[in-house]
Structure 1
Amino acid sequence: MSLALLAGCTDDGEELGADDENGSDTTGEEEPIEPFESFPGLTAEVEILVDDRGIPHIYGQTDNDVLYAQGYHMASERLFQMALLRRRALGRQAEVLGEDFVDQDVTSRTFNLRHYGSLNAERLREDSPAFYNAAVSFVAGVNAYVDEVNAGTQPLPYGFAEAGFTPENWSLEDEFAISKLFMLGNSNQLERDLLASVLSTNLPDVWESFELGKPMFDTPILKPGELPPPSAPGSLPSQLGRIPARAADPYSEQAVAEAFAKLRKATGHIDPPGPFGSNNWAIDGRHTDTGRSMIAGDPHQPLQSPSLMFGVHLNSADAGQGGTQDVIGFSFAGTLGVQLGHNRKLHWTATTNFGDVMDLWDVRVEDEGVWAGDDYVEWVTREEVIEVAGGEPVVLEVHDVPGYGVIVPETLLPLPVSAPGRQLLVNWTGFQATAEERCFFEMGIAEDIDTWEQAVDIMEVGGFNFIAATADDIAYRVSILVPERDLSAGYLPYLIIDGDNAGSYWDGYLSQAQMPQTRAEDRGWVGTANNDPFGFTFDGDITNDPYYYGYFYASGLRAKRLDDRFEELTAAGAVTQADMEALQLDTHSTLSDALLPILFDAAEAVGTDPALAEYEGNADIQALAAELEGWDQRMDRDSSAALIWHAWLHFMSHEAVGDDLGFLFTLVFAEEPPYILKIPGLAMTGGYSTDNLIQTSQAEVALAGLQRTAQWLTETFGGIDPSGYSWGDMHGTYFANPFGGELDGGWVATNGGEDTLNVSSSNFYAGAGGDAVERFDSTDGPIFRIVTTFAEDGTPQATVNFPRGNSGLPGTPHWDDTLEDWVEGVYSPLPFGRAEVESAMESSYTLSP
């Protein structure tokens, strides 16, 4: 293990995130800034103007004043949600919510989020005292509101009395632990690596056939001429033949089902990335009707009630006292500043990048330590006591392996992935002090693309496809600590690794030059949809590329549609804001372009192809095929054909690969339907290097799926007549709350499907037989949609919609007032200038020193 890994340094020894001449400690003061021991109090009055969507616009004299007010106001709207998020990160949910939350607490304690959050805070204190002080101010604002609630001068928000606890004061480490929690969710690959390992162990022949990493469409983020040299995909000899199969017995259906049910429950609070769904893009002025750039983003997150994100505007710059803040956008509840939004010159957006920053090893245990290759490492044991409301405390013994990660507790994964005398070790690049909070803060004060890129490069653990635009420039950039892996050592990082393989352990990171990045000078636009940035996975082999970056990317469905539409729009010229909004709302089914011709040919061949004799005279099949022929290929709520298509796609998938995957079929599809649908898609279109997955013919599979669709429609709606059903009857978004009660947001019919840009994914299968669930509920989606143009003076002008409201207080005006606009795709301006804010102002109040 290299010292660079432990110290958070680049390969050449330079400290990551250290201040440079453009650093953030420029607050107008010439004297060095000293870090706060505690918040000294407001320097002057702070105005909080709340607009007609419940977004606070906070005006103060200094950065610290407005960050204090942000903490205070966020707590006034979201205190119960923040309290639960804090407990998620600290592993203290069961203490108030009972034994159902013990498993989640085990995960948080295992990953030691509070400890690593505290390291982040300590590092920030040294690297950027100005921002450290802003963080101290934010927490002080939260605590000021908590004190008022506990003193009875503010009402106790809904949830506390019902759950039987009262608000606690926050420490600075709590906020940073919440940030670590979100970063872990962004980069968590634990479940994917385990599922891939189960597939490769139980189904070795199928595993070789379907080339899991291969996308449906070969659409990279970077185009020819933009790849960082040397990074030509597939340019080196394959190493697959040198990688031995991992010795493990197949797992039983019951063991796998129980283990993954347990793991999903234990990691549910991390909000792991998936289903794949985020989009963002920017286009420069040569293609737009204004002659200036445009940028759009719709990050997809779990759609909870209240939303995980909070709209806010911070302004200390107008006061002329050295304040750096005039930034508006969205922050994760419980965290300070603005993570995604715009300032006076620049707008930035993000999607998940899926660089691989987590590995699992099956290591040999001896005495009080493990063998990591040829190195024996003694573990450090810590005892974690999890208090349980209404029950006995749970005592968890965790073994940290210094420099190598942490042993996965057996209670977290009751699956015999390791032989006797061996255990599972997980390592994550977040097991150190990282600087994600400062990265977002620095992006918020960047005034041009150059300084914004410097801010992005501070990021170390969050895998984000960042895109930014000013009026006259656009850029795409990624910065993340991706371990440098030598696959010639004979292992695959996306499977459980043999811990005896000494060459598999991390010893450095990829350089910034190897990260995805472009200014898109030639084409004038750039977009991401969680797709492979380089194209390393397109041949199904990640061992023949110049370096390993990641494996589990989106399957190219949205990326293909995005690229196709941009080619069309830029060829036509004069792209408008309305075009960008329509693209975010696009519900065209990309898979239908590839698969419907197969279905139509099969239906037409009935009566002439002897292999299809059993379908002769089946009027239902022909009627459904005819209905799909007249379909506009849009997954809209009022479309009956969209429901026919959705049912056929999934019944066809079961017919195509259900026999190959066996009892793992529904488990695989339950994980991430947008990703897994590529398997039957590629099988049906001949996209694999082997056709072993289709034992009959594409036509027979297509018609069998259509026959099952007719049977299901009849059983569900009494017949196949399209006037009797629509997509919105069966599909919608459910806004859950981990506590429930009045915080539950309910269900609403929504547009979109698994393969649309406006993705709205749901689980189809109810059991191993491929039967359908009673309702197709989506629980992930665009947590906001934003499209930004630029005024003649370069000021960003954003339009936005978001669910469900900006408040977390049930029954208040802004609890669910933005939901309808989000469902209907209605955009409204996001007020930014003072005159705009005052025009939209609904209420206001002042905080005084």
Structure 2
Amino acid sequence: MPPNTTASTGQQPGKSGRKKGRKARLVVLVLVLAIIGGVAYGAYWSISTVRASFPQTKGSISLEGLSGPVDVKRDGYGIPQIYASSDEDLFMAQGYVQAQDRFYEMDVRRHMTSGRLSEMFGKSQVDNDEFLRTLGWDRVAKKEYDTKLSDATKKYLQAYAKGVNAYLAGKEGKELSLEYAALGFANDYKPAQWTPVDSVSWLKAMAWDLRGNMEDEIDRALLTSRLGPRQIEDLYPQYPYDRNKAIVQEGQYDELTGTYGQGSGTSGGTAGAGASAGDASAAGTATDGTTGLQSQLSGLYDVLEDLPTAVGVNGNGIGSNSWVVSGDHTITGKPLLANDPHLSASLPSVWYQMGLHCRSVSSKCQYDVTGYTFAGLPGVIIGHNRDISWGMTNSGVDVTDLYLEKLTGDGYQYDGKVKPFTTREETIEVAGGSPKKIVVRATNNGPLLSDRSDELVKVGKKAAVDTSAPDRGDGYGISLRWTALDPGTSMDAVFAMNRAANWSDFRAAAALFDVPSQNLVYADTEGHIGYTLPGKIPTRAENVDGSIPQPGWDSKYRWTGYVPQDELPFEFDPARGYIVTANQAVIDEDKYPHTLTTDWGYGTRSQRIIDLIKSKTDDGGKISTDDMRQMQLDNSSEIAKLLVPKLLKLDIADKDVREAQKLLEGWDYTQDADSAAAAYFNSVWRNILKLAFSHKLPKEVRVKGQCLWVDPVNTTGPADETEKVRECGQRDAEQAQPDGGDRWFEVVRTLMDDEKSDWWKTPKSGTRPKADNRDELFVRAMIDARWELTAKLGKDIDTWSWGRLHRLFLKNQTLGTDGPGFLQYVLNRGPWKLSGGEAAVNATGWNAAGGYGVVWVPSMRMVVNLGDLDKSKWINLTGASGHAYSAHYTDQTDKWADGELLDWSFSDGAVDKSTSDTLVLKP
């Protein structure tokens, strides 16, 4: 039962993951037998166990450690608003309430972040634990807690832990969650006490999933084995600054450094996507050891892809939307702020909605804030207080570098000398098995990731015979340099943002948010809007941009420092009256002296949002809260706008294919769930990518996509195991395939005018014709798409719809993904037929490498009305509860799928009016 804390719907482990899954299923075999052993006992077990873990939400409970009474008011969706008279009571109550709803989720997460999954799930998780111990998140979190965080933050973390432990006191597993009852049949696992470090560690997991371009570094290095610099440049085109605007467009940066707008500097390289991606030697790749590098990186992919995800899709940088519009352009005359982070679909949702209110804000009790947080973490991550609101999107800045290390005996080479490894021994406890000890080795660049695979170690030693190596030592290894492996202050930043009353406070708070680096948008009740980029962002030597792995044995490739906080881009009250962040470039490369990354998102979503805003405001129109909601639901396909006019001009001989082609006539490029045209176009797009690129890419390059679980579209539930393995096996045998995201939009766009490019050539396959140019390949893709959809949806195109292909299944973490069928039935929900698509504003993402099923989603949506905070709106993907069969398990999902938002009460009067249940926590 490999944990996946965001249970990415449609996402499938690789071959090693399937082996682990088979082992894990043996662990819960006893549970299956117990359930089916007798009807009466099974019925009793199910009812009693489900009810045993439901939280008390009315009446009163006495908690040791409170200094005064705390009110917990829940609305009709079970969303809690907490009222206390001291900071410590407020956060203690937050810990208690989150544990009531989500403790199993919290427990799995802390075992993941500390590399202790094997303690819960047995030997199937040992490999994952070895890798996570090598990263050492919990060790870094402990140092952070001990040496970096403020005394106030430590008090809040302690209070939160006290609240969680007050909930755990005296409870057996089945009283905490249904999953514990299931696990209880297989082992004697008992949850340990919660600690402050458990909370801090979660920020490291969050940073890992949002770490940036590590996979792109690996891809580019692997591509050099088969493609030339020009071909690699084709696959990583320049960011289109002339078409898709960067976030920062106006000159606030010059207030600090005087360099913005002068085009004066490239001291840190260039900030453009793919700036030197095609020139391996110029960027300082570790090509001195080509064989070692290729082998090590290929093996590292398998290790990375098998890890459980935290809040994203394991480093693949999905994206998010956030934008703010000033009062000059709104109906209320005050700003509106929208946010919808795009993350793996999970059950329960990664987000937890709540309000934290001091009855009287003072030095003793400083908080009056509401929004979204993570279960296991005190405070609010995204939301608003009574003065300001903020949203986040992943900036994508490059904070990780991989290094090829030359290993010699008990050390590694560095500037011609052999330096000793830093080592430590770790013991992994295994439920139902014997403990396993590992040795973690690190160089001055960071931990050796390659040590965590026996195969990688063997490959590294074999690679030492490569005559292009710097010498003939013991082999190669891969190390990781990453900002999050240094202790930081992000937990301080969370509380500082929650307290901030104005732009100055917010900027000071943001400066503490070192990892992960996020785009932060801002609005306040005084009418101001702003943007700031915080984070610990490394600087590198000239001509070293971090786009590909570097030689660790040469000091000139080490980081040279970090971008000073007062030189990071920001905007405040720009004249245009809006700010949009959707993972596009932060700032034009010619207007900024530092390299932030070479791998921005390409701005498809951000520019569409800008266009939607301008369509409302250019003629003096005003934007409402509902207009912001409608923008979040925009399903327009930007790649369809480019390709469909070309596709309609093609002469199609086959009448059945021509019938499908006619679906595109008059189509408005909107990917609604009931659209047959959207279904056909997206199949054509997938087949264009497959024909043009897949067979030309090295087999080792996964191109941002695991082999995916793809459920047959004519069933109402998940595919059976045989079908999953069969489909995955077919894809494993195929060449790599692009994921179809907006980088591939840009790749195809830049190749469109070169009709005879080699990329457009593809061989004959069976009865399918070969292609020697662009139009012939497009015809072939239309043929292949027609028969692919015939097989999936039927020959009658009148029955086709995008929603039949593009479906969301919500799978509960751990037992809902690899438990026995009975538990999957109990814990999982779906499907939902969804609108939207890849790189649309309504980013219900799918991965062209695996099919059309939904693999990431807008994990929540919110619109904050700074004119009247009680008129703000919000929604979560699932619900407040992590308990299967709770009324609040998935009670928001139908509304989320339909694009609706819930009322978001904030003031005392509005909260009282919406309250359904009140629980009083007493000292």
Q: Same fold (TM over 0.5)?
A: yes
Structure 2: distance between partners of 1:155 and 1:375: 59
Q: What's 1:95 paired with?
A: 119
Is 2:805 aligned against 1:730? yes
Q: What's 1:219 paired with?
A: 245
Structure 1: distance between partners of 2:490 and 2:88: 19
Structure 2: distance between partners of 1:627 and 1:399: 58
SS of residue matched to 1:756: coil
For the 8 Å contact 1:206–1:693, the answer to whether it is kept is no
Q: CA deviation at 1:708?
A: 1.1
Q: CA deviation at 1:267?
A: 5.1
SS of residue matched to 1:778: coil
Structure 1: distance between partners of 2:442 and 2:292: 28
Structure 1: distance between partners of 2:828 and 2:417: 51
For the 8 Å contact 1:47–1:847, the answer to whether it is kept is yes
Q: CA deviation at 1:583?
A: 0.6
Letter in 2 for 1:160: Y
Q: CA deviation at 1:156?
A: 3.3
Structure 1: distance between partners of 2:799 and 2:391: 41
For the 8 Å contact 2:326–2:528, the answer to whether it is kept is yes
For normalisation by structure 2, the TM-score amounts to: 0.79
Q: CA deviation at 1:668?
A: 4.9
Q: CA deviation at 1:700?
A: 1.8
SS of residue matched to 2:636: coil
Q: What's 1:596 paired with?
A: 644
Q: Deviation digits for residues 475-523 of structure 1, max 9, x if unmatched?
A: 10011111111133xx441211012332111231011243231114221
Is 2:221 aligned against 1:185? no
Structure 2: distance between partners of 1:413 and 1:591: 43
2:834 to 750, 757, 764: 750
Q: What pairs up with 1:755-770 in 2 under 5 angstroms?
A: 755-766=839-850
SS of residue matched to 2:307: helix
1:370 to 397, 401, 412: 412
Structure 2: distance between partners of 1:305 and 1:284: 35
Structure 1: distance between partners of 2:492 and 2:753: 47
- For structure 1, the 5+ residue unaligned runs are 1-38, 539-543, 607-614, 767-772
Q: What's 1:337 paired with?
A: 379
SS of residue matched to 2:918: strand
For the 8 Å contact 2:335–2:867, the answer to whether it is kept is no
2:82 to 36, 50, 58: 58
SS of residue matched to 2:484: coil
Q: What's 1:822 paired with?
A: 896
Q: Deviation digits for residues 589-635 of structure 1, max 9, x if unmatched?
A: 1111222222223x2xx3xxxxxxxx4x3223333232112212111
Are residues 244 and 493 of structure 1, via their aligned partners in 2, closer, same or farther at CA, if it must alter by over 3 Å? closer
Q: CA deviation at 1:43?
A: 1.3
For normalisation by structure 1, the TM-score amounts to: 0.86
1:473 to 512, 528, 544: 528
Q: CA deviation at 1:313?
A: 0.6
Q: What's 2:676 paired with?
A: 640
Q: What's 1:32 paired with?
A: none
Deviates more, 1:76-85 or 1:564-573: 564-573
Letter in 2 for 1:842: S
Structure 1: distance between partners of 2:310 and 2:454: 16
Q: What's 2:41 paired with?
A: none
Q: Deviation digits for residues 349-389 of structure 1, max 9, x if unmatched?
A: 00000111111111222333223345654222111122222
Structure 1: distance between partners of 2:387 and 2:913: 22
1:172 to 183, 196, 199: 196
Are residues 439 and 110 of structure 1, via their aligned partners in 2, closer, same or farther at CA, if it must alter by over 3 Å? same
Letter in 2 for 1:203: L
For the 8 Å contact 2:248–2:586, the answer to whether it is kept is yes
Q: What's 2:760 paired with?
A: 694
Q: CA deviation at 1:777?
A: 2.0
Letter in 2 for 1:554: G
Q: What's 2:633 paired with?
A: 585
Is 2:715 aligned against 1:673? no
2:688 to 652, 677, 680: 652
SS of residue matched to 2:584: coil
Structure 1: distance between partners of 2:559 and 2:611: 39
Structure 2: distance between partners of 1:681 and 1:234: 32
Letter in 2 for 1:734: F
Q: What's 2:49 paired with?
A: none
For the 8 Å contact 2:399–2:482, the answer to whether it is kept is yes
Structure 2: distance between partners of 1:525 and 1:137: 39
Q: What's 1:156 paired with?
A: 176
Letter in 1 for 2:77: R
Are residues 823 and 591 of structure 1, via their aligned partners in 2, closer, same or farther at CA, if it must alter by over 3 Å? same
Structure 2: distance between partners of 1:49 and 1:668: 43
Q: CA deviation at 1:444?
A: 0.8
Structure 1: distance between partners of 2:237 and 2:87: 45
Q: CA deviation at 1:319?
A: 6.5
Q: What's 1:8 paired with?
A: none
Q: Deviation digits for residues 233-289 of structure 1, max 9, x if unmatched?
A: 797598757446614556999998765333201354574344523000001011111
Is 2:809 aligned against 1:787? no
Letter in 2 for 1:620: D
Q: What's 2:908 paired with?
A: 834
Q: CA deviation at 1:302?
A: 1.7
Structure 1: distance between partners of 2:640 and 2:307: 36
2:550 to 497, 501, 507: 497
Are residues 687 and 506 of structure 1, via their aligned partners in 2, closer, same or farther at CA, if it must alter by over 3 Å? farther
Structure 2: distance between partners of 1:144 and 1:824: 39
Structure 2: distance between partners of 1:760 and 1:255: 33
Q: Deviation digits for residues 151-187 of structure 1, max 9, x if unmatched?
A: x9x9232111212322211122221112222222222
Q: What's 2:130 paired with?
A: 106
Is 2:890 aligned against 1:847? no
Structure 2: distance between partners of 1:791 and 1:560: 26
Q: Deviation digits for residues 308-338 of structure 1, max 9, x if unmatched?
A: 1111111115365731111001111111111
Percent identity, please: 24
For the 8 Å contact 1:219–1:556, the answer to whether it is kept is yes
SS of residue matched to 2:438: strand
Is 2:496 aligned against 1:442? yes
Deviates more, 1:273-282 or 1:830-839: 273-282
Structure 2: distance between partners of 1:235 and 1:703: 47
Structure 2: distance between partners of 1:99 and 1:270: 24
Structure 2: distance between partners of 1:625 and 1:253: 42
Structure 2: distance between partners of 1:492 and 1:780: 30
For the 8 Å contact 1:276–1:675, the answer to whether it is kept is no
Deviates more, 1:742-751 or 1:202-211: 202-211
Structure 2: distance between partners of 1:186 and 1:446: 25
**What's the Cα RMSD here?**
2.9
SS of residue matched to 2:539: coil
Is 2:254 aligned against 1:230? no
Deviates more, 1:337-346 or 1:99-108: 99-108
Structure 2: distance between partners of 1:587 and 1:784: 17
2:513 to 459, 463, 484: 459
1:525 to 568, 571, 578: 578
SS of residue matched to 1:843: strand
Letter in 2 for 1:384: E
Letter in 1 for 2:400: M
- For structure 2, the 5+ residue unaligned runs are 1-62, 270-274, 465-474, 707-737, 762-771, 817-822
Is 2:593 aligned against 1:546? yes
Letter in 1 for 2:67: T
SS of residue matched to 1:777: coil
2:537 to 482, 506, 518: 482
Are residues 207 and 227 of structure 1, via their aligned partners in 2, closer, same or farther at CA, if it must alter by over 3 Å? farther
Are residues 578 and 270 of structure 1, via their aligned partners in 2, closer, same or farther at CA, if it must alter by over 3 Å? closer
Are residues 384 and 206 of structure 1, via their aligned partners in 2, closer, same or farther at CA, if it must alter by over 3 Å? farther
For the 8 Å contact 2:215–2:704, the answer to whether it is kept is no
Q: CA deviation at 1:679?
A: 5.6
Is 2:470 aligned against 1:428? no
1:718 to 768, 774, 794: 794
For the 8 Å contact 1:213–1:551, the answer to whether it is kept is no
Is 2:132 aligned against 1:132? no
Is 2:438 aligned against 1:396? yes
Structure 1: distance between partners of 2:702 and 2:784: 17
Q: What's 1:31 paired with?
A: none
Structure 2: distance between partners of 1:811 and 1:208: 51
Q: Deviation digits for residues 25-67 of structure 1, max 9, x if unmatched?
A: xxxxxxxxxxxxxx99211111111111111111011011010
